[in-house]
């Protein structure tokens, strides 16, 4: 190699070692133009191109490396290169080309080498995508048992993610933790490292283990912050989950800056990472009350093949379009099977159905949430379970029964450092206090929620709270009866039986019976006639409305 090529190559290797991959690509390209690179340096060039989001260049380089490995009879190395070429195509949403490349690889390498460990990963991914998570987990476990080197932590992450999707949260987290231990003790190549970090933090978020997610996110952030450039999808996927954890912690401006930068960086790029980035952007903007911007982000997510529920449904709820909100989450629940995704949808469904007065639909969602979480005991899962149970119990007319559940949930969320989740529960606790006649307690809870919403910039939540406060202030003239109890009492005054009231208000007969019992207790009466008489005397029910 001549002196000019040698100088470029020496500089390229130094830049690559320093994680300055874009600059390394320029030096590799200059050296390659002077004299074709040897296969090891050509593969390093391909890796630098892959990590710095130069997808087309990475594909061309990997194909050159593959051909050189095959020509030299290095078929096992060629199979690994074939995997990376497939992975680059897949991440660019070039699914047809990716699958075609696998077919071509099998023909070139022959049946024995086409079944190499690296090329069994796509088979496992395909099984998982087709719903056979048990089969995928079995394949991935065999790869880990037989593998050596970087394929082990890579596959451990995929295995962990598959288990988490199947609802085996602790087993999945254990596999991710093992992969993280390998990364932190040995260090891994630039194209494996971001995959390990992203899979680990994503898995913790899906499993609702936010304490572990934050710990691993701190490690990931130190690595990201050490890099000279964060461009491209490969690193962008890590930053999506960093934004999500910022959002959970209440750092909404930082979360928005982070995810907006990722979306700007991915402008013109196609791929599933792009869709997830736009969905996260929509979530932050929805929470901040930026409705049009949120809807645009969800639209961009859809263009890249990413689901938009429950975010879009919750946006419609904030806009007051209850029919669209309910239809959206119902449709998503009809097609989503991964357990963590269903939990997100069910949690939103409870909120939407209760707001729409669809008590039985909310009850069904709570029941499924309880069944899916079963014996799972992470603090966040316990908080979510208590929250949906408490919200339903409150809607059923049992504020005293709801309070312990809601207070348990708010305590768990505070311990998790999730101010927005805690503030939303303050609102429900305030409503329960008001229903029990503790108006001072209600005002304190509402005030605490308002302070948090104002600090976060949660416009939709502030508007919702304002409506609740106005309604509860009006209820002080109804002797502690809730809006729903007043509706029931008016129908009792019109002579309706419980079954007729249930039909008219779209409630269960059991719920109506509970409301009637609460009315008797609050008004200090023991019959329907006495309740109606009291209501007319104290102008809770006007004669003209009967």
Domain boundary among 115, 145, 175: 115
User: Which tens digits make up the pLDDT trace of 262-284?
Assistant: 999 887 776 778 899 999 999 99
How confident is the model at residue 233, as a pLDDT?
Answer: 66
How confident is the model at residue 534, as a pLDDT?
Answer: 87
331 Cβ contact list (under 8 Å, min separation 6) = 309
- Asked if residue 306 belongs to a domain, the reply is no
Between the alpha carbon of residue 482 and those of residues 396, 476, 523, the distances in Å are 11, 9, 12
CA atoms within 13 A on the CB side of 345: 23
322, 355 Cβ separation under 8 angstroms = yes
- Asked if residue 158 belongs to a domain, the reply is no
User: Which tens digits make up the pLDDT trace of 26-78?
Assistant: 999 999 999 999 999 999 999 999 888 788 899 999 999 999 999 999 998 99
175 Cβ contact list (under 8 Å, min separation 6) = 156, 157, 159, 160, 163
What does the alpha-carbon distance between residue 302 and residue 321 come to, in Å, rounded to a whole number? 20
Closest CA to 316 of 306, 333, 300, 330: 330
Confidence bin at 232 (pLDDT 50/70/90)? low
User: Which tens digits make up the pLDDT trace of 170-182?
Assistant: 899 999 999 999 9
User: Which tens digits make up the pLDDT trace of 237-262?
Assistant: 889 999 999 999 999 999 999 999 99
What does the alpha-carbon distance between residue 441 and residue 407 come to, in Å, rounded to a whole number? 13
Please give the backbone phi and psi of residue 336, each rounded to the nearest 5 degrees, phi first.
Answer: -85, 130
- Asked if residue 32 belongs to a domain, the reply is yes
- Asked if residue 48 belongs to a domain, the reply is yes
165, 340 Cβ separation under 8 angstroms = yes
- Asked if residue 430 belongs to a domain, the reply is no
Domain boundary among 90, 115, 140: 115
- Pick the more confident residue, 235 or 344: 344
- Asked if residue 61 belongs to a domain, the reply is yes
Domain boundary among 88, 115, 142: 115
What does the alpha-carbon distance between residue 217 and residue 239 come to, in Å, rounded to a whole number? 10
389, 363 Cβ separation under 8 angstroms = no
Question: Could you tell me the pTM of the whole model?
Answer: 0.80
Task: Print the domain residue range for 502.
Answer: 479-546
459, 286 Cβ separation under 8 angstroms = no
Tokens of 418: 């999730």
- Asked if residue 162 belongs to a domain, the reply is no
Confidence bin at 545 (pLDDT 50/70/90)? very low
- Asked if residue 343 belongs to a domain, the reply is no
Between the alpha carbon of residue 35 and those of residues 5, 43, 271, 383, 546, the distances in Å are 7, 15, 34, 62, 94
Question: CATH number of the domain that 495 lies in?
Answer: 1.10.10.10
How confident is the model at residue 11, as a pLDDT?
Answer: 95
What does the alpha-carbon distance between residue 379 and residue 166 come to, in Å, rounded to a whole number? 20
Confidence bin at 130 (pLDDT 50/70/90)? confident
Question: CATH number of the domain that 80 lies in?
Answer: 1.25.40.10
- Can you tell me which residue has the tokens 């912690």? 249
How confident is the model at residue 5, as a pLDDT?
Answer: 82
Per-residue pLDDT, averaged over 477-497, amounts to 82
User: Which tens digits make up the pLDDT trace of 376-418?
Assistant: 778 999 999 999 999 999 998 899 999 999 999 999 999 999 9
Structurally, how many domains does the chain consist of?
A: 2
394 Cβ contact list (under 8 Å, min separation 6) = 402, 406, 428, 431, 432, 435
């Amino acid at each position: 190699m001549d002196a000019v090529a040698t100088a470029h190559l020496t500089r390229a290797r130094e830049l690559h070692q320093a994680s300055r991959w874009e600059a390394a690509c320029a030096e590799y390209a200059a050296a390659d133009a002077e004299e074709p690179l040897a296969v090891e340096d050509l593969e390093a060039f391909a890796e630098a191109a892959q990590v710095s989001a130069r997808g087309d260049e990475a594909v061309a380089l990997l194909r050159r490396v593959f051909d050189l490995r095959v020509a030299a009879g290095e078929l096992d190395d060629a199979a690994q290169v074939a995997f990376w070429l497939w992975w680059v195509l897949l991440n660019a949403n070039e699914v047809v080309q990716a699958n075609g490349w696998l077919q071509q690889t099998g023909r070139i390498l022959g049946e024995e080498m086409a079944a190499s460990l690296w090329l069994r990963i796509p088979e496992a991914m395909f099984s998982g995508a087709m719903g056979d998570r048990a089969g995928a987990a079995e394949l991935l476990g065999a790869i880990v048992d037989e593998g050596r080197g970087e394929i082990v932590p890579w596959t451990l992450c995929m295995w962990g993610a598959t288990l988490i999707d199947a609802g085996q949260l602790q087993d999945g987290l254990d596999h991710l933790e093992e992969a993280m231990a390998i990364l932190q003790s040995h260090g891994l190549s630039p194209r494996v490292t971001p995959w390990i970090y992203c899979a680990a933090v994503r898995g913790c978020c899906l499993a609702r283990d936010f304490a572990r997610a934050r710990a691993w996110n701190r490690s990931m952030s130190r690595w990201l912050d050490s890099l000279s450039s964060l461009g491209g999808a490969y690193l962008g996927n890590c930053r999506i989950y960093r934004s999500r954890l910022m959002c959970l912690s209440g750092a909404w401006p930082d979360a928005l800056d982070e995810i907006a930068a990722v979306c700007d960086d991915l402008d013109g790029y196609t791929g599933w990472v792009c869709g997830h980035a736009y969905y996260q952007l929509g979530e932050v903007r929805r929470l901040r009350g930026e409705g049009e911007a949120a809807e645009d982000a969800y639209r961009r997510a859809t263009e890249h093949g990413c689901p938009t529920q429950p975010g879009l449904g919750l946006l419609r709820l904030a806009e007051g379009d209850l029919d669209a909100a309910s239809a959206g989450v119902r449709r998503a629940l009809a097609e989503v099977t991964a357990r963590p995704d269903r939990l997100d949808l069910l949690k939103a469904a409870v909120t939407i159905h209760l707001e729409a007065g669809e008590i039985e639909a909310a009850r069904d969602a709570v029941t499924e949430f309880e069944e899916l979480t079963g014996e799972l005991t992470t603090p966040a899962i316990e908080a979510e379970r208590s929250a949906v149970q408490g919200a339903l119990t409150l809607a059923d007319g049992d504020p005293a029964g709801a309070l312990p559940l809601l207070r348990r949930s708010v305590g768990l969320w505070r311990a998790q450092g999730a101010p927005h989740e805690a503030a939303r529960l303050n609102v429900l606790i305030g409503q329960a206090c008001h229903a029990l006649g503790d108006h001072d307690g209600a005002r304190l809870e509402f005030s605490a929620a308002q302070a948090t919403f104002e600090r976060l910039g949660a416009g939709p939540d502030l508007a919702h709270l304002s409506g609740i406060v106005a309604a509860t202030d009006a209820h002080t003239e109804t002797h502690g009866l809730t809006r729903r109890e007043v509706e029931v009492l008016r129908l009792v005054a019109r002579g309706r039986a419980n079954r007729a009231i249930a039909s008219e208000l779209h409630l269960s007969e059991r719920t109506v019976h509970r409301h009637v019992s609460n009315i008797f207790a609050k008004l200090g009466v023991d019959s329907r006639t006495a309740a109606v008489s009291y209501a007319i005397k104290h102008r809770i029910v006007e004669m003209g409305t009967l």
